[in-house]
Each structure stands twice: as structure tokens, then as C-alpha cells.
Structure 1
Amino acid sequence: MKTIKGPAIFLAQYTSDQPPFDTIDHLAKWASDLGYVGIQVPVDDRLIDIQAAATSKEYCNDLKTRLAKYNVVITELSTHLQGQLIAVHPAYDQLFDGFAPEHVKGDPKARQAWAEGQLKLAAAASHNLGLTTHVTFSGALAWPYVYPWPQRPTNLVETAFAELGKRWQPILDAFDTVGVDVCYELHPGEDLHDGVTFDRFLKEVDFHPRANILYDPSHFLLQQLDYLAFIDIYHKRIKAFHVKDAEFRPDGRQGVYGGYSNWVERAGRFRSLGDGQIDFKGIFTKLAQYDYSGWAVLESECAIKHPEACAVEGATFIKQHIIRVTDHDFDDFAQSSLDDAQMRQLLGL
């Protein structure tokens, strides 16, 4: 078994134009002071020059040296926003244009091509940084049809997943060339949002070895999916881990769909670590059992508590849950050593 690495923190929810959240150096020092030893870095011009990182090992070595001053390393690069743009249903064109640069807005094909280019740059940059995993979203073509009313036309979902696989295949191949796993966060709003949809996608990309999972139990709790059994089923594909809590408190007026309520008023909502209902002891135990050797990364999206308070509490919470795994069986002290003849004698043979 292997001991999970951490604690680490995803910087996407903290990056801003105000210090200490305005540069990667400031964020690294802030995270280190809180007790984090890893940072998950979104591909954001304020934090990393992805073109330079993809083409210059000198740039990457300099970046790693700067972060080492704060005893922090990069765990993964994130292209959640860019991955979303690989596949966008027309109903969401205007909303997701906000994730794209000005020169491709209003042009879905150009926007998709830009996003694909960003993913391929992230593959090269991850390799130059010495990383082996990358985290992202899948995008979505079928999401508006997630509930089967009106009745879906025959092969609508199959057509959507075939197209999704076609778009991701060259990206997965680019990551495979540099030896980096693509870890999809299974997330509502994405076509990959649970085990069944991940299985559909795997078939479309011929079970690509680089198509893997960013495990985030909060999204599974809000879907009422068994997030512990999920680890039993998919542990070989789980290569990244967001430590995020959630709670689901249905009542006589709302349940999983939330009645279009805002986050505070929804039956299902994200919470700070320890304030929700997720069984993290069970999760960390199963991940240790299955030799997960990646990072435990805080993602903070609590609907109630200030994100800086979540970050302060998160480092300690993750430290307390990481299991230092044993290197021997607990009963080795009583081990017997017998030869074959003695074994046969014990069995009456």
C-alpha cells in the first residue's frame, strides 16, 4: 500500500487580483503558511504562462525552484474551463463563451479548436513540470437531455458520446505521448458525471489508458450515488482526488433537483470539510487499500463558510485523514516458518 500525498489545495477558487491571491508566488506562500505542501494550478494567465511551460523546460524549472522556496510543489495543472469548451451544447453557447478569449467568442468551432490547443499545451507543460496527472472537465453535448422527457430519440445519447469521444481522442493521444493521465472530474453539467457515463465514454475512446478519473465524492452525494462503492468499482482509473464535503437534506418541498434554488437554499449543497455528510474516513481507507498514490487536494466551494476559513481548516482536516499505511502485516510477530513436509503433515496428507 501507498501513503496518499498531501495536503494540497486547488487554487481556482482563490485566485484574484488582490494579494496574496494575485500571483502564484503569493499563493504558494499563503498555502504553505497554512500547512499545504501541494498546489493544484489552473491554467490561468495570472498563474502560469502555458505556452512557455509547454515549450521551455527552463521556464518550468524556474517555476519549480520558486515554489520550492515555500516548500510547495505543483500537484496537477487544471484545464476545467478549457475542457468544458471541448463540447458545448448550443443552449450554453453564450454562457460558456465567458470561459474563452475574445477572439473566439461567438464562434463555437474556433472556440473548440482553441480549447483543444490549450489541452495539448497543458500536456506538454505537465511533462516539462515532471507531472504525471492532469485534471479537467469533459464538456457536454447531451446534458440538456439528462432527464428522459420528452422521450429521447433513439441513439441521441449514443451519437453525443460518439462525438465526445471523437473530440477527446486526439487530446488523450497527446497526453499519452508524454506519459500523463487525463483525470476527468465527474460533475453534473458534464456528459461525464457518474460511472455509467464514464463507462460510455471509455467505450468511445477504446478504453484509452489515459482516460481516468478525478474523484470528488461531493458530486456523488448530491446525486445520491454510493461514493464508497464507486471506489471499489473504479479504483484502477482514479488518479486524482478532490477532498470536498457536501450535504443532502431533502424535505417535503425539494430534493435532488433543488427547485432552481440558489446554493444556500438547495437540499444538496457543498460544505467545508467536516461540516457535511461525506464519510472521509471510509474514503481515505478505501483509497489506501487500493494503493492510490496521488494527492489529496482541497477544493473549497462551501455555500456557508468563508473560503479562507475553509482553507485554514482544510489543511488540518486532510492531514488528520491521510493514513500512514503499514509496511507489514500486524500479526507478523507470530509468523511460522514450515517446510513442505511439515505443511503436508499439518493438512494430514
Structure 2
Amino acid sequence: MRTIKGPSLHLAQFSGDQPPFDTLATLAAWAAERGFAALQIPAWDGRLFDLWKAAESDTYCDEVAGTVAEYGLVISELTTHLLGQLVAVHPAYDLMCDAFAPEVVRGDGAARSEWAGQQLRLAARASRRLGLSRMGTFSGSFAWPYVFPFPQRPEGLIEAAFDELARRWRPLLDVCDAQGVDLCFEIHPSEDLHDGATFEMLLERVGAHPRCRILFDPSHFVLQQLKYLDFIDIYHERIGMFHVKDAEFNPTGRQGIYGGYQSWVDRAGRFRSLGDGQVDFKSIFSKLTQYDFSGWATLEWECCLKDQDDGAREGAAFIRDHIIPVTDKVFDDFAGAPLERARIDALLGIA
């Protein structure tokens, strides 16, 4: 067993146009002051990271690593969620997803998907140059508008959606393999990969690709009422990344998992700062440690109530307190006694 690394901080929810959130250096200083050991960098955010340079230049990657090292930090992973989202977009989401893409490809689904694939290839190369072995992403979605089977889904609709999803992702998985990078899909509502069953549907279609992995975030399991501890038991060999995010689900006579189109603060299921929700993180850290998870525990802060500065500071301490330093001893060794084979046979009654 290995001790889980952490705490890392996903920067996507913190980066902005105002100091100290507008540059990688100032964010690194801010994160270090709050107790983080690493940063997870959103590859699409040009305020923090030049993806094209990182894919092409070892010198630039050394500069990026050096910037965070000045504050005692390392880079845990790159994430490509908004890029992965654009690999597969149902027409119902075209206008909203266009906001994630440059103007030159907006309004052209095929060009936008091709651009997103190119960005993911760059991110895989950048990860290798940075010495990283895992990268997080979203799968995108063709089938999400049909998640509830009424009107009755036409026969073959979901199969066709996942066939196309696999056709688009298989070459990108191969690129990641060539760069020595695992591609970890976040299991997330609104994505075609939103639970174990849908992950298996893609995994089968990409031939159980060794780079097809999972980014595990238990908050999304709470909101879907999935058993996240059972999920770890089933899929631990595929879990490559871990977002430590809390959530709560408090259904009422008025709403349940669909949320009644309410704002986050008024939904039955909502994200919370670490320790303020319902996720059993003691059991999660125990299971991941038991299964020899070798990655980072990364805070992804999304809370509709608490200030982000408090959420970050408390989150770093929360993760540190939950990481289990693995033992190198067997606790009952003091009572053991070695026996030669003849005595073992005697204990078993073997002639």
C-alpha cells in the first residue's frame, strides 16, 4: 500500500481576472499559504497556462514547474474538462458549449470537435513534458437529453451514441498511451459517462483501453444517489484521479434528484465545502488506501454557502487529516512464531 498524496487544489474554480487569482504565480502563493502541496491546472485557462507552449517546449514546462516550486508546490495533474466536453456535444447544447471554444469554430460542431481533439492531444504532450502521468477530462454527451426513457427511446439510440463516443475518444486514448498518460473521465451528471454502467459501455467499445480511467468525485454520487463505496470496490483498478468534494442530498415533498430547476442553494442536492456535507470521507480514504491508490487527493471547491477562502483553507486541513500514512508493520507480528514445515504439517494433522 501507498500513502495517498495531497492536498492538491484544482484551480478551475479559483482562477479569475483579479489578483491573486489571475496568474499562476500569485495563485500558487495563495494556495501555499492555505496549506496545499500541489496544484491541479486547468489546461484551457490561458491566464494560468499556455497549452501550446507546454506541448512544444521543455523550457516552458520547466518554467511552469519552477514557478510553483518557488512556493513549495508541485503540479499534480492537468485537467481538460471543458475541452473534453466539446469532443461530443448534442445539438441541444450547441450554443452553450460554443462559449468554451474560440470564435473561429463556433457554430460548426464538426470543427469545434476537431479543435477540442487537437487541444487534448496538446494536453497529453504537455503532461508528458511536465512529468505527469494522469489527466482529467469530461466525456461530453450525445445521449444525455434522453437520460429519462420517456418518450420511449428508439431502439438502437443509446448504442449509436456510445458507438460514436468511442469512435471519437479511441484515437485520443491512443495519443495518451503514446505519451504515457492515463485519461481519467470524471463520472458526472450531464456527461454520457455519469455512472458505472455508462463507463462500462464506453470501456467495452474502446477494447478495455489501458488508458481509459476514472476521475472519482463522490459528490456526484450523492446527487445521483449512487453507492460511492461500492463503486470503489467495483472500479478501483480504473480509478486514477480523486476529487475531494462534499455534497448533501435532502429530498423533500417538492423535489428530489432533478432539483426542480432551482438554483444551487435551493436544490435538494447541492455541493458543500469539505466537512459540511454528507460524504463519508473516512471510509473513502480507507478504501482507496486499501486498494493502493497512488494518486493525489485534490480539493475541488464548489459550495453555494461558504466563502471560497474559508473553503480552501479548511479543505486543505480536511484532506491532510484524512490521508492515512500507511504502516510498514503488521500489528500482530509480536504474537507470531515461525515454524518449520514439519510442525506446520503437525498443526494441520497432515501425515
TM-score in same-fold range (> 0.5): yes
**Structure 2 partner of 1:162:** 163
Any residues of structure 2 matched to 1:148-227 within 5 Å, and which?
A: 148-227=149-228
**Structure 2 partner of 1:6:** 6
59-68 or 181-190, which moves further after superposition? 59-68
**Secondary structure class of the residue paired with 2:9:** strand
**Structure 2 partner of 1:304:** 305
What is the identity, as a one-letter code, of the residue corresponding to 2:279? Answer: I
Distance in 2 (CA, whole Å) between partners of 1:334 and 1:25 is 53
Deviation at 1:312, TM superposition (A): 1.1
Distance in 2 (CA, whole Å) between partners of 1:204 and 1:345 is 54
Deviation at 1:348, TM superposition (A): 2.0
Are 1:333 and 2:334 matched, yes or no? yes
**Secondary structure class of the residue paired with 2:176:** helix
Distance in 1 (CA, whole Å) between partners of 2:301 and 2:69 is 24
Deviation at 1:227, TM superposition (A): 0.4
What is the identity, as a one-letter code, of the residue corresponding to 2:224? Answer: Q
Are 1:31 and 2:34 matched, yes or no? no
Deviation at 1:58, TM superposition (A): 1.2
Deviation at 1:224, TM superposition (A): 0.5
What is the identity, as a one-letter code, of the residue corresponding to 1:32? Answer: A
**Structure 2 partner of 1:130:** 131
Deviation at 1:258, TM superposition (A): 0.8
**Structure 2 partner of 1:270:** 271
40-49 or 85-94, which moves further after superposition? 40-49
Distance in 2 (CA, whole Å) between partners of 1:154 and 1:284 is 41
RMSD of aligned alpha carbons:
0.6
Deviation at 1:178, TM superposition (A): 1.0
Distance in 2 (CA, whole Å) between partners of 1:300 and 1:69 is 24
**Secondary structure class of the residue paired with 2:99:** helix
Distance in 1 (CA, whole Å) between partners of 2:230 and 2:218 is 11
Deviation at 1:207, TM superposition (A): 0.7
Any residues of structure 2 matched to 1:229-244 within 5 Å, and which?
A: 229-244=230-245
Distance in 1 (CA, whole Å) between partners of 2:15 and 2:292 is 32
Distance in 1 (CA, whole Å) between partners of 2:307 and 2:171 is 40
Gaps of 5+ in 1: none
What is the identity, as a one-letter code, of the residue corresponding to 1:256? Answer: I
Deviation at 1:64, TM superposition (A): 1.0
**Structure 1 partner of 2:295:** 294
Deviation by residue 1:230-280 (Cα, 9 ceiling, x = unmatched)? 000000000000000000000111111111111011000000000000000
Distance in 1 (CA, whole Å) between partners of 2:90 and 2:345 is 67
Distance in 2 (CA, whole Å) between partners of 1:304 and 1:148 is 34
Gaps of 5+ in 2: none
**Structure 1 partner of 2:42:** 42
**Secondary structure class of the residue paired with 1:81:** helix
What is the identity, as a one-letter code, of the residue corresponding to 1:201? Answer: L
Instruction: Return the TM-score normalized by structure 1.
Output: 0.99
**Structure 2 partner of 1:256:** 257
What is the identity, as a one-letter code, of the residue corresponding to 1:123? Answer: A
Distance in 2 (CA, whole Å) between partners of 1:24 and 1:165 is 34
**Structure 1 partner of 2:280:** 279
Identical residues among aligned pairs (%): 61
Deviation by residue 1:314-343 (Cα, 9 ceiling, x = unmatched)? 010000000001112111122211111111
Distance in 2 (CA, whole Å) between partners of 1:128 and 1:265 is 44
**Structure 2 partner of 1:15:** 15
**Secondary structure class of the residue paired with 1:286:** helix
Deviation by residue 1:66-94 (Cα, 9 ceiling, x = unmatched)? 21110111111011000000000000000
What is the identity, as a one-letter code, of the residue corresponding to 1:41? Answer: I
What is the identity, as a one-letter code, of the residue corresponding to 1:64? Answer: A
What is the identity, as a one-letter code, of the residue corresponding to 1:18? Answer: Q
**Structure 2 partner of 1:83:** 84
Q: How many residues align?
A: 349
Distance in 2 (CA, whole Å) between partners of 1:307 and 1:110 is 36
**Structure 2 partner of 1:342:** 343
Deviation by residue 1:121-178 (Cα, 9 ceiling, x = unmatched)? 0000000000000001000000000000000000100000000000001100000001
305-314 or 137-146, which moves further after superposition? 305-314
Runs of 4+ in 1 over 2 A off after TM superposition: none
Distance in 1 (CA, whole Å) between partners of 2:95 and 2:166 is 24
Deviation at 1:7, TM superposition (A): 0.5
**Secondary structure class of the residue paired with 1:8:** strand
Instruction: Return the TM-score normalized by structure 2.
Output: 0.99
Deviation by residue 1:86-120 (Cα, 9 ceiling, x = unmatched)? 00000000011000011111111111011000000
**Structure 1 partner of 2:70:** 69
Distance in 2 (CA, whole Å) between partners of 1:23 and 1:333 is 54
